[in-house]
Amino acid sequence: MSTCSTVSHDLAEPVSGTAATARTWLLLEQSGPWGAKALTSSHLDPALGRALEAAAKDTGVRIALIRRPGRHADSGTPTIRQVYAAHTVPGNVWLHSATTRDPRDLLGLDLAALGSGDHSGFDAVLGGGPHTGEPLALVCTNGKRDRCCALLGRPLAAALAASGVEGAWEVTHLGGHRFSPTLLVLPYGYAYGRAETHAVMEVLHSVQEGRIVVEGCRGNSAWERPGQAAELAVRTAVREYAAEALTVVRTDGAAPHWEVTVAHTDGRHWRVHVAQTASLPPRPESCGASVLGSPARMDVVGVRELSTSPALAS
């Protein structure tokens, strides 16, 4: 059976520079089935879902629902729900957790502050604090958005849980169905595509040691797509895998050409030329698409280390 993910794989579509963009992730546990737009089509009160969507607009916060791997029949709503917030910008990476009996408590959060990296409101409103467990491994399993997420994501989530991964959760939407199974790892915010269990275990082991695995990586959600591709290209070029070593400090230009400046914590800088091109031949961008598309891809044309500060080199 041909699916959007098998076609993308067979055409060797690159995954770099395809991650969802979010400086901060806000995750709410919601059991039971999910619809295509889960915040308003699940067992969560749709009015609350709409209010949260509105509150998050233009804040840098992306809200998603999570649930433990397994069967998802209408088994009722948990009395106590898990809530996570994670900020993914290097230099201020954190993952905090809390629980709530009433998801309407989330309406009391200052999402603009959360998006800027301030967790004090999250801690005060929800009684949260730093997450002390394993990294979170969030696998997209929402088959209502695309069947690939269910066919490929659910077995991966189940395998991780069976392997004893405490941080394994199913999540409603990470974008890029054709790269299923897709995975987001927190706290650092790096996304992965075409993920396999053994590779995910390596990614999680590396994250616990503060390192990033580049193979199969779609990018860091803290950056826009050109920055994601540029940062991964620098990591590969200089073999730098420390999680918070690199930062995208500026992006000049506009589609289809950008010059992205990437900085290292040791003071080095690189200028990366990123070009947007169309993936050819046309292919289904999702299994539900009625027409073929040519999804944009981020191609790194060149990586150049700067001998002076980026301001002087401009």
pLDDT of residue 147: 55
CA distance linking residue 70 with residue 72, whole number of Å:
6
Straight-line distance from the first to the last Cα atom of the chain, in angstroms, rounded to the nearest whole number: 51
Q: How many C-beta atoms surround the C-beta of residue 68 within 10 A?
A: 14
CA distance linking residue 144 with residue 236, whole number of Å:
36
Which residues of the chain are under the pLDDT cut of 50?
312-314
Tokens of 126: 């929800």
CA distance linking residue 161 with residue 159, whole number of Å:
5
- Hunting for tokens 């709410």 — which residue is that? 28
pLDDT (tens digit per residue) in 14-32: 789 999 999 999 999 998 8
**Rounded (5°) CA angle 245-231-299:** 170
DSSP string, the chain: ---HHHHHHHTT---TT-PPP-SEEEEEE--S---SSTTTSSSS-HHHHHHHHHHHTTTTEEEEEEE-SS--SS----SSEEEEEEE-STTS-EEEEEEES-GGGGGGS-HHHHHTT--HHHHHHH--EE--SPPEEEEE--TTT-HHIIIIIHHHHHHHHHTT-TTEEEES--S-GGGPSPEEEETTTEEESS--HHHHHHHHHHHHTTB---TTEEEETTS-HHHHHHHHHHHHHHT--BTTSEEEEEEEEETTEEEEEEEETTS-EEEEEEEEEE-SS-B-SSTT-SS-B--EEEEEEEEEEESS-HHHH-
pTM, full prediction: 0.91
